[in-house]
Structures are given as C-alpha cells and as structure tokens.
Amino acid sequence: MALIAIARDESELDSVEVNAFQDRAVAELTDTVQRLYAARARVGEAKPIAADAVAAAKIGRNDPCPCRSGKKHKHCCA
C-alpha cells in the first residue's frame, strides 16, 4: 500500500524516506517472489504445461466458437 501511495504522490514520507523505502522494497519483493516460487515447487504445483494440453486448446476455423454464440469460430471471435 505504501508503494501505491508513493506512486500516486499521496505518501506522507519525505524524499529521503521514499528513496530508502523504494530501495528496500525491490529487495524484499524479489525475496518474497523467490520464496513463493520455492513453496509452490515444494507443493508440486509448479509443473510445466504438457504439450498435449496446449495442442488440445487450439480451436479450428470450423469449430463452434467457445463463447457459445452458436456461430463458427471463424465468423465470431476470430
């Protein structure tokens, strides 16, 4: 929330405090993202997407549109 307030110029911090906060925030965010990724990998959720799943998601020109309009994909959302 403090970073948002700084970005909107709504922060009550002076420029020295803002600079120190921004420098600290980069390191803390990087560390937090790395810890979240490691925790996710331990749980087993960080698996790569199988090539079969990507190929199955492709919609053909003559297939019905996934928006369920009843039209063919090439005439609806293409």
Residue 58 pLDDT greater than 80, yes or no: no
Position 72 scores a pLDDT of: 77
Residue 63 pLDDT greater than 70, yes or no: yes
Position 59 scores a pLDDT of: 72
| Mean pLDDT, residues 45-62 taken together | 60
This prediction's pTM? 0.37
Q: Helices then strands (H, E): number in the chain? A: 3, 0
- Of 6-15, 24-33, 39-48, which gets the smallest average pLDDT? 39-48
**C-alpha count within 13 angstroms, C-beta hemisphere, residue 35:** 6
User: Strand pairing partners for 64?
Assistant: 72
**Structure-token pair, residue 37:** 């990724």
